């Protein structure tokens, strides 16, 4: 939900901060402790007239309330940030219908030093259902766990064993939950590129992008998990292709090319043997190269029906492959990759799915290195359809080209800055993933 008015957003945070302070000073039910929550309830209700939820979050040391960012928060807001940090949560979601009593419970738990890292459990135990706790950001750790899970599966197949899917199913469940809450949060993970670890990271990146896209399309948690599994496993069939073919930098011979084109069939066979993996995942693995116009491969599958998940994985695979450095390919920047996606609509890719992906990424996708009209260099953090080009960027170089010791997170919608050009990260020697 977009909050109307910076003053209202600040008032909400100030009242909540004061309520927490008061909850630590007075016993439950004391008139002095209840008053700020009655007023806070009124503010929350006025901000939720359109039926949306209010998100209070801390990202890279910046407090956000709805669309408003507080880069230099006044003392009450800084105190609220400190409380969130103490509880090891990145933010709170106030859902429609939240009442003064719910807010009072929240404040009491946040004021209690004995409740460290148990805020979510405490709210549930007290019967508070309309306040959601956003746990401290562990997405990067989960991403690394996913890379490990994919590597483990590839190794097991290489050793002639049917892979154990338990570890991967756990990772996918965690990432799918994050995707449902905030699809954009996963886009930054897909920027992690490691040439020496390409096989595993490409698989995880396709899974991450597939989950973000599926979630943004309004698909169920189960369908988001299916998309993630299919993305993680889409290239698993390459374990049965000779490494001399996989790693060949030059053009493949006719026989090598035919063998490479069999990897979707090999992959579907492997996935069907994995315990707990739905049949729809094997279907998507089989069809991720079939193309929307059915001119792809494998030949035996061209006339089979394929669901939406297959199309989602195809788009995610296309996008990650074009933005990755490989032996035979210079990577495109995210904006160039978006243009290639547009060109592929109706041919290799489903235009409706591409359109949704483009809505998710915006004009300048997450990870784009850009020049502002101030001549500053920045990395796009949060994309947007706004005329300025993005919602939030991280400024990493000043107007004279000097690297900032402390990159600055900035809302360019609020600041009035505008993106004027793209910058090639390879020319500048900048690893954009390092800023996420």
Three-class secondary structure of residue 374 per DSSP: coil
Greater model confidence, 198 or 224:
224
Own/partner pairs for 73-79, CB < 8 Å, 24+ apart? 73/13, 74/10, 74/14, 76/13, 76/14, 76/17, 76/18, 77/10, 77/13, 77/14, 77/17, 79/17, 79/20, 79/21
Answer positive or negative: Cα dihedral of 209, 176, 166, 270.
negative
Answer positive or negative: Cα dihedral of 197, 203, 208, 210.
positive
Is the model's pLDDT at 215 over the cut of 80?
A: yes
pLDDT for residue 1 = 41
Q: 312, 213 in Cβ contact below 8 A?
A: yes
Q: In this predicted model, what pLDDT tens digit does every residue of 84-106 receive, in sequence order?
A: 888 878 788 888 889 998 999 99
**Mean pLDDT, to the nearest integer, of 348-358?**
94
Res. 372 pLDDT band, cuts 50 70 90: very high
Q: What is the mean pLDDT of the chain?
A: 84
State in words which class domain 139-361 has: mainly alpha
Q: In this predicted model, what pLDDT tens digit does every residue of 121-142 receive, in sequence order?
A: 889 888 999 998 876 556 677 7
Is the model's pLDDT at 193 over the cut of 80?
A: no
**Mean pLDDT, to the nearest integer, of 51-64?**
72
pLDDT for residue 191 = 67
pLDDT for residue 336 = 82
Res. 267 pLDDT band, cuts 50 70 90: very high
| Percent of the chain topping pLDDT 70 | 87
Q: In this predicted model, what pLDDT tens digit does every residue of 269-318 receive, in sequence order?
A: 999 999 889 999 999 999 999 999 999 999 989 889 999 999 999 999 99
How far apart CA 119 and CA 346 sit, in angstroms, is 48
How many other CB atoms are there within 10 angstroms of residue 403's CB atom? 11
Q: Which two tokens stand for residue 121?
A: 């459990």
Q: Would you kindly state where each structural domain of the chain is located, as residue ranges?
A: 6-135, 139-361, 369-435
Res. 24 pLDDT band, cuts 50 70 90: low
Three-class secondary structure of residue 165 per DSSP: coil
pLDDT for residue 330 = 63
Is the model's pLDDT at 194 over the cut of 80?
A: no
Is the model's pLDDT at 188 over the cut of 80?
A: no
pLDDT for residue 2 = 42
pLDDT for residue 399 = 92
Which of these ranges, 188-197, 285-294, 345-354, 395-404, has the smallest mean pLDDT?
188-197
| CA angle (426, 431, 433) in 5-degree steps | 135
Res. 248 pLDDT band, cuts 50 70 90: confident
Closest listed residue to residue 432, CA positions, set 331, 303, 340, 293: 331
Is the model's pLDDT at 36 over the cut of 60?
A: yes
Is the model's pLDDT at 12 over the cut of 80?
A: yes
Measure CA 344 to chain center.
Answer: 24
């Amino acid at each position: 939900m977009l909050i109307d008015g910076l003053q209202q957003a600040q008032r909400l945070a100030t009242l909540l901060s004061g309520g927490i302070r008061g909850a630590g000073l007075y016993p439950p039910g004391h008139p002095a402790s209840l008053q700020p929550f009655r007023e806070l309830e009124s503010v929350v209700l006025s901000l939720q007239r359109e039926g949306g939820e209010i998100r209070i979050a801390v990202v890279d040391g910046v407090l956000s309330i709805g669309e408003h960012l507080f880069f230099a928060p006044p003392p009450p807001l800084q105190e609220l940030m400190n409380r969130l940090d103490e509880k090891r949560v990145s933010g709170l979601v106030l859902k429609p219908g939240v009442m003064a009593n719910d807010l009072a419970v929240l404040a009491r738990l946040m004021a209690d030093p004995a409740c460290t890292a148990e805020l979510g459990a405490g709210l549930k135990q007290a019967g508070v259902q309309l306040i959601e706790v956003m746990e401290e950001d562990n997405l990067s750790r989960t991403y690394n766990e996913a890379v490990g899970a994919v590597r483990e599966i590839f190794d097991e197949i290489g050793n002639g064993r049917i892979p154990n899917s338990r570890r991967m199913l756990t990772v996918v469940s965690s990432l799918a939950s994050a995707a449902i809450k905030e699809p954009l949060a996963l886009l930054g993970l897909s920027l992690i590129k490691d040439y020496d670890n390409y096989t595993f990271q490409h698989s995880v990146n396709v899974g991450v992008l597939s989950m973000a896209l599926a979630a943004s399309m309004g698909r169920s948690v189960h369908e988001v998990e299916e998309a993630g599994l299919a993305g993680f496993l889409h290239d698993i069939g390459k374990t049965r292709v000779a490494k001399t073919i996989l790693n060949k930098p030059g053009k493949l011979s006719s026989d090598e090319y035919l063998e490479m084109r069999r990897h979707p069939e090999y992959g579907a066979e492997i996935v069907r043997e994995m315990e707990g993996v739905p049949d729809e995942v094997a279907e998507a693995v089989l069809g991720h190269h079939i193309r929307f116009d059915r001119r792809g491969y494998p030949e035996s599958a061209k006339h089979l029906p394929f669901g939406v998940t297959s199309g989602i994985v195809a788009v995610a695979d296309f996008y990650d492959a074009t933005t990755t450095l490989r032996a035979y390919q210079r990577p495109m920047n995210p904006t160039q990759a978006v243009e290639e996606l547009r060109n592929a609509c109706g041919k290799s890719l489903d235009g409706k799915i591409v359109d949704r992906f483009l809505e998710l990424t915006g004009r300048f996708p997450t990870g784009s290195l850009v020049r502002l009209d101030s001549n500053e260099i920045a990395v796009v953090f949060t994309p947007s359809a706004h005329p300025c080009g993005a919602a939030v960027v991280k400024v990493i170089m000043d107007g004279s080209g000097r690297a900032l010791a402390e990159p600055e997170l900035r809302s360019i919608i609020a600041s009035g800055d505008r993106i004027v050009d793209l910058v090639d990260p390879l020319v500048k020697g900048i690893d954009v993933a390092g800023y996420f």
